[in-house]
């Protein structure tokens, strides 16, 4: 590997925190190059959940006994950690959800149903994951609002030249975009879009599912109104995610899920809603998962998200350089300085599923498919791509193994 690609972050040392790497797959060391779909788990996070279950587990915000108070304190401490991680002005603006998808649906339903109608426009981007595309497309149809898409250019970056034309077509009420594209790794100009969205009088909804694990995220600096992310992509457990929302918007919104815990008073005649964040947390919460989320945030804070970002940028540059040596490969997306640790490619006409299966026999895990980004795949003119994605535990040797594996694929199927 070239000297410029040597990471500052000690990925090799950090790997020791991840028990998953103790095993072999098909007799080979695991090269896990699919962290964008979900990240592996450090022992520190696993231990925190285990200890919580063994020593502090009870339901939260429901009991007056010691154990319940202890569980509630740990749950709320986790909320504070997650809120601080994205620089939320208050933990009360941080709602625990099942994942980013539920957080985005919450906004689409709870804000969209009461605020959208004919003459309004909902604007998404061609880079959106289905989770920030389909709920808005559906809500636009349901309320009679228009639905528009900001397109990408040949490098897979948003073409903001269309914004004036979109604004001329109606009252823009929602701008929904991701901060980092899961399919191409593009880092998107959210601040610019937020400024434009607010000039139109719109709310700005940011999908940070791929950004929060890899890139410092500051909701106040971004200037957005809502931000969604998932714990499982950032070394935390599955089953929990977060929605940050501006307090005045959350307070004005109707609830999304109804039932226990989210109420103030329930009478036969009428029910009134609880305070934030409880209004949006109906039912028993993902309690231990939230505690695990907090532990994952502490783990990432200790390493430093800036260091993770730099590490991944070096890996992406190295991967683009090495993959570029393979004859017939088509690489998608922007140059390494404008992308996160995600590299999408196609190997001539070889189907991505075949590529991924042969790589698996070498112990290498990558994703093959449309990555829940079918509108983008349509623009690229393909049904699917291969995608390698990196995280704090990825080492350059795994990229070398990927390149060797792709040569093998070409020998077998090329
Ligand atoms: N992307 C990928 O392989 P959930 O499932 O709610 O935790 O995350 C949904 C989601 C939302 N936005 C973006 C940008 C995402 O990348 C994802 C999840 C995975 O790329 C699974 S399709």
Q: How many Å apart are CA 95 and CA 88, to the nearest integer?
A: 11
pLDDT at residue 3 greater than cutoff 60: no
Report the nearest atom of ligand 1 relative to the CA of 100. 6
Is omega for the bond preceding 154 within 30 degrees of 0, making it cis? no
Could you give the 3-state DSSP secondary structure of residue 353?
helix
Question: What percentage of the chain has pLDDT greater than the value 90?
Answer: 97
| CA 185–ligand 1 middle distance (angstroms) | 12
- CA nearest ligand 1 atom 16, residue: 182
**DSSP track, 309-339:** HHHHHHHHHHHHHHHTTSTTEEEES--GGGB
Residue range 79-88: average pLDDT? 98
- Split at pLDDT 50, 70, 90, the class of 8 is confident
Q: Radius of gyration (Cα) for the chain, nearest Å?
A: 22
Ligand 1 center–CA 36 separation, angstroms: 8
pLDDT over 90 at 414, yes or no: no
Beta strand 94-97 with 241-245 is: antiparallel
Residue 7: per-residue pLDDT:
47
Cα 162 to ligand 1 centroid, rounded to whole Å: 26
SS3 143: helix
Half-sphere exposure of 379 (CA within 13 A, CB side): 22
* Distance (Å) from CA 253 to ligand 1 centroid: 25
Instruction: Give the residue-averaged pLDDT of 84-105.
Output: 98
Pocket-forming residues, ligand 1, beta carbon under 6 Å: 36-37, 99-101, 129, 131-132, 178, 182, 207, 209-210, 230, 241, 367, 371-372
Q: Is the per-residue pLDDT at 6 higher than 50?
A: no
Name the residue with the closest Cα to ligand 1, atom 19: 37
| CA 99 to ligand 1: nearest atom | 6
Residue ID of nearest Cα to ligand 1 atom 1: 37
- CA–CA gap between residue 115 and residue 142 (Å, rounded): 12
The whole-number average pLDDT for the span 216-234 is: 98
Tell me, in angstroms, the distance from the centre of ligand 1 to residue 268's CA.
41
Nearest atom (ligand 1) to Cα of 178: 14
Mean of the per-residue pLDDT values of the chain: 97
Assessment of whether the complete model's pTM goes beyond 0.95: yes
Write down the pLDDT at residue 30: 98
**Among the listed ranges 7-21, 136-150, 164-178, 226-240, which one has the minimum average pLDDT value?**
7-21
Does residue 4 register a pLDDT over 50?
A: no
What spatial distance separates the first Cα and last Cα of the chain, rounded to whole Å? Answer: 26
Q: Which of 339, 372, 377, 391 to mutate to test the pocket of ligand 1 (most atoms within 8 A of CB)?
A: 372
Give kind and range of the element (H or E) at residue 178: strand 171-178
Do the domains at 11-37+304-409 and 48-301 have one common CATH topology? no
Q: Judge: domain 11-37+304-409, CATH 3.20.20.110.
A: no
Distance, CA 222 to ligand 1 centroid (Å)?
Answer: 20
- What is the domain partition of the chain in residue ranges? 11-37+304-409, 48-301
367-410 pLDDT tens trace: 999 999 999 999 999 999 999 999 999 999 999 999 999 999 99
pLDDT digits (tens, 9 = 90+) for 265-312: 999 999 999 999 999 999 999 999 999 999 999 999 999 999 999 999
User: What is the spatial distance between Cα 10 and Cα 303, in angstroms, rounded to a whole number?
Assistant: 9
DSSP 69-138: HHHHHHHHHHHHHHHHHTT-S-GGGEEEESSHHHHHHHHHHHTHHHH--TTEEEEEETT--GGGTHHHHH
Atom of ligand 1 nearest to the CA of 372: 22
Q: Which residues are catalytic?
A: 372
User: Cβ neighbours of residue 104 under 8 Å, at least 6 residues apart?
Assistant: 131, 132, 135, 176, 205, 207, 228, 243
Ligand 1 atom nearest the C-alpha of 180 is 14
**Measured in angstroms, how far is the CA atom of residue 168 from the centroid of ligand 1?**
32
DSSP letter assigned to residue 63:
-
Of the candidates 43, 70, 44, the residue with the CA atom closest to the CA atom of residue 59 = 70
Q: How far is CA 172 from CA 150, 155, 200, in A?
A: 13, 26, 6
CB 244 within 8 A of CB 94: yes
Classify 48-301 by CATH class. alpha beta
Q: Which of 38, 101, 212 to mutate to test the pocket of ligand 1 (most atoms within 8 A of CB)?
A: 101
Residue 353's pLDDT band (boundaries 50, 70, 90)?
very high
Nearest CA to ligand 1 atom 3: 37
Tell me the mean pLDDT in the region 58-86.
Answer: 97
């Amino acid at each position: 590997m070239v000297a410029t690609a040597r990471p500052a972050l000690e990925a090799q040392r950090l790997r020791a925190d991840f028990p998953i790497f103790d095993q072999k797959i098909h007799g080979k060391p695991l090269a896990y190059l699919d962290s964008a779909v979900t990240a592996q788990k450090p022992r520190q996070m696993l231990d925190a959940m285990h200890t919580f279950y063994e020593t502090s587990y009870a339901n939260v915000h429901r009991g007056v006994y010691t154990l319940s108070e202890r569980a509630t304190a740990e749950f709320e401490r986790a909320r504070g950690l997650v809120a601080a991680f994205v620089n939320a002005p208050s933990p009360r603006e941080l709602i625990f959800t099942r994942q980013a998808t539920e957080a985005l649906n919450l906004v689409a339903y709870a804000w969209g149903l009461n605020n959208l109608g004919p003459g309004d426009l909902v604007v998404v981007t061609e880079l959106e994951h289905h989770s920030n595309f389909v709920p808005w497309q559906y809500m636009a149809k349901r309320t009679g609002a228009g639905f528009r898409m900001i397109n990408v250019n040949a490098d897979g970056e948003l073409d903001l030249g269309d914004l004036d034309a979109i604004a001329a077509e109606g009252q823009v009420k929602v701008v929904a975009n991701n901060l980092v594209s899961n399919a191409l790794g593009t880092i998107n100009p959210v601040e610019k879009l937020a400024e434009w969205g607010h000039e139109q009088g719109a709310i700005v909804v940011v999908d940070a599912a791929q950004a929060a694990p890899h890139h410092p995220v500051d909701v106040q600096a971004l200037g957005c109104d809502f931000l969604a992310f998932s714990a499982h992509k950032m070394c935390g457990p599955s089953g929990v995610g977060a929605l940050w929302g501006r307090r005045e918007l959350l307070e004005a919104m109707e609830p999304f899920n109804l039932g226990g815990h989210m109420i103030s008073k329930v009478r036969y005649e009428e029910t009134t809603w609880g305070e934030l964040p409880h209004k949006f947390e109906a039912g028993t919460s993902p309690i231990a998962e939230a505690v695990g989320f907090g532990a994952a945030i502490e783990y990432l804070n200790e390493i430093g998200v800036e260091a993770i970002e730099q590490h991944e940028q070096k890996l992406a540059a190295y991967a683009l350089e090495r993959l570029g040596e393979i004859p017939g490969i088509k690489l998608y997306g922007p140059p390494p300085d404008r992308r996160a640790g995600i590299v999408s490619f196609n190997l001539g006409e070889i189907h991505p599923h075949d590529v991924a299966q042969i790589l698996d026999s070498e112990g290498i895990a990558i994703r093959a498919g449309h990555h829940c980004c079918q509108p983008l795949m349509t623009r690229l003119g393909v049904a699917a791509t291969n995608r390698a994605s990196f995280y704090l535990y990825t080492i350059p040797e795994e990229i070398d193994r990927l390149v060797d594996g792709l040569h093998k694929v070409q020998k077998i199927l090329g």
